[in-house]
Structure 1
C-alpha cells in the first residue's frame, strides 16, 4: 500500500445535489479528480461511451481526462455528493491521478465506513459559514480518500498514463469554478437566479465568474442558464399540455410574454408550436 504521510489534497468543491427531474447533462471531462457518490436513488452514467446504472451505495471516481455524462431517467431521482480535488501525489502514479482502472469503484469491506464518512461530508457541505468549515471538509475528505485507497485491492489497478495539456487549456481552478457554477445552475434554474447571486454563492466576483465561465465554456453563465431553461421548457412542452404561463414559471420565468419572446429568439418559433410535438 502507498505511503500517505504527505497526503494533503486541495479540495476544490464538496456539495450534495438532489435531482428529481429527468434529463441528460453535458458529456465532459476535468483536468482534476472528481468523485461522485450516490447517497440515494439511481441514475445512469455514460463513461467513455459505456452506460452504467449507478444506484445508492456506489461511488464513481473520474481521473483527469475521463469523459462522463449523467442521465436522470423519468420516474427516478438521486442524491449525490460531488467532490473535486487535486494535488494528489502517489509513488509510481501520475500526479493528480488515483490508480483505479475503472471509474466505478468496488468498496468491498470499506463500504460502511466510506458511506458514513460521505454522509458527514454531505452534512458539513451545507455549513458554509460555520467555524472551521473548510478545515473540517478537508480533514473528512482525506479520511474518505484513505478509505477509498484501502479498497484498492478489490479493484483493477490502472497502468501509469500521461495526462497531456496545452497552454490553451483552462487551468484546474478555472474548470473547478465552472463545474461548480454549472452544477448550481442545473439545480436552481427554476429560481430567479442572477449572476450576482451565483457569484456570491461561489465566493467570487461576478466579473471573475463571467470571464472564467466564458473562457471555459465559450458563453456567459446567464447565456448557459437561458439555454438550459429553453431545453427544459421544450421537454415540458413536448411531454405535457400545461399552459404556457405554467411552463414559463416551471423554468424560472414569472413573465410568460418574456419567456415566449426568449423562446422564439432561441428556436425561431413560439412555444405554442412546439407543444405536443413528439
Structure 2
C-alpha cells in the first residue's frame, strides 16, 4: 500500500544536526509531540526506550513517534556520532498525524537500512558544508529517507502499532493537508480564512477548529509563520543589496513596517539585523 499522497506530502523539517558525544553526557527521559529519527553513524550510544536501557551500535535507526518516552546517555570511555532529525506536518494514510508505521522504536529493514545510512551521510555533508540551497537539498534527502523507511517496513509486512483513526479523523487530516499544501504554494498571495474555507467546502469555524486541533495554530498564524520563515531564508541567502521592503513584498506583505514588526515579534530581532546572525 502507499502511505503518502505526492501532492500534499510536504514534511516540515524542524531540525537536523549530527552531534559528537565523546564525554559522559545524559539526556533525561522525555517525549516529543513531533516525529524524531535518530541514527547512530559511528561508535555506540546508550538509549532508553520501550521500557529498557540498551546499547545501540553504529548503523542502527531509531524512530520516536510522538509521545514515545526515551532518554540517552553516553557511557564512560565510549563515543558516538549521531544524526537527529525532527519532523512534523506528516500525514500518512491510516495513521495519526506525525506518526510512522514502525512497530518498534528500533527498526531493522534489511537492504533499505544501508540506503538510509548512505542518505544520512549525504545529509551530514550538506548540513556541515551549507552550500547554496542546502536547505532544499537536505529536505529532499530526508524525504528520500522517509520513503526508504516506509518501503522497508512495508516489505516486512509488519503489523504496526497504529493509533486508532476514524473516518472523520482521516477527512480532517486530509483537510489540513490540503490547506497546508495550498498555503505553501500560495503564501505570497492575499489569503483570507473565508477564502480557505470556501475553497475546501467547509465553514470557517470548522476549518479553524480542525486546523488548530491538528497543528496547534490557526490557518492564518500558520500562514504568517510560513511567510516569516521564507523571509528569513531570503534575508540569510539573498544578495547584500536586498532590502527589507523587497523581502516583505516577496513573501506577501506590501507594508514593510508591518512585516518588520511581525518578524521581530517572531524571531526577536528586526529583519535588518538578520544578515549578521
**Deviation at residue 171 of structure 1 after TM alignment:** 5.8
Aligned with 1:27: secondary structure?
strand
Instruction: Give the equivalent residue in structure 1 for 2:17.
Output: 15
Matches within 5 A, 1:115-194: 115-128=117-130, 130-152=131-153, 153-154=155-156, 156-161=158-163
Alpha carbons 1:101, 1:155 under 8 Å: kept:
no
Q: 1:3 to 1:104 in 2, by over 3 A?
A: closer
Q: Distance in 2 between matches of 1:155 and 1:38?
A: 25
Aligned with 1:8: secondary structure?
coil
Q: 1:56 to 1:49 in 2, by over 3 A?
A: same
Alpha carbons 2:95, 2:164 under 8 Å: kept:
no
**Deviation at residue 71 of structure 1 after TM alignment:** 1.0
Aligned with 2:117: secondary structure?
helix
Alignment size in residue pairs? 171
Alpha carbons 2:50, 2:105 under 8 Å: kept:
no
Alpha carbons 1:102, 1:156 under 8 Å: kept:
no
Q: 1:43 to 1:3 in 2, by over 3 A?
A: closer
Aligned with 2:19: secondary structure?
strand
Q: Distance in 2 between matches of 1:137 and 1:121?
A: 6
**Deviation at residue 88 of structure 1 after TM alignment:** 1.0
Instruction: Give the equivalent residue in structure 2 for 1:221.
Output: none
Within the candidate set 72, 95, 115, 1:70 is matched to: 72
Q: 1:115 to 1:12 in 2, by over 3 A?
A: same
Q: Distance in 1 between matches of 2:40 and 2:139?
A: 20
Any idea what the Cα deviations from partners look like across 1:131-171, whole Å, max 9, x if unmatched?
Answer: 111111111100111111111033743232169xxx9xx96
Alpha carbons 1:114, 1:148 under 8 Å: kept:
yes
Instruction: Give the equivalent residue in structure 1 for 2:232.
Output: none
Q: Which runs of 5+ in 1 are unaligned?
A: 173-202, 207-278
Residues 153-162 or 140-149, more deviating: 153-162
TM-score norm. by structure 2 comes to: 0.57
Alignment root-mean-square deviation, CA: 2.5
Matches within 5 A, 1:197-212: 204-205=267-268
**Deviation at residue 127 of structure 1 after TM alignment:** 3.2
Matched, 1:58 2:121: no
**Deviation at residue 81 of structure 1 after TM alignment:** 0.5
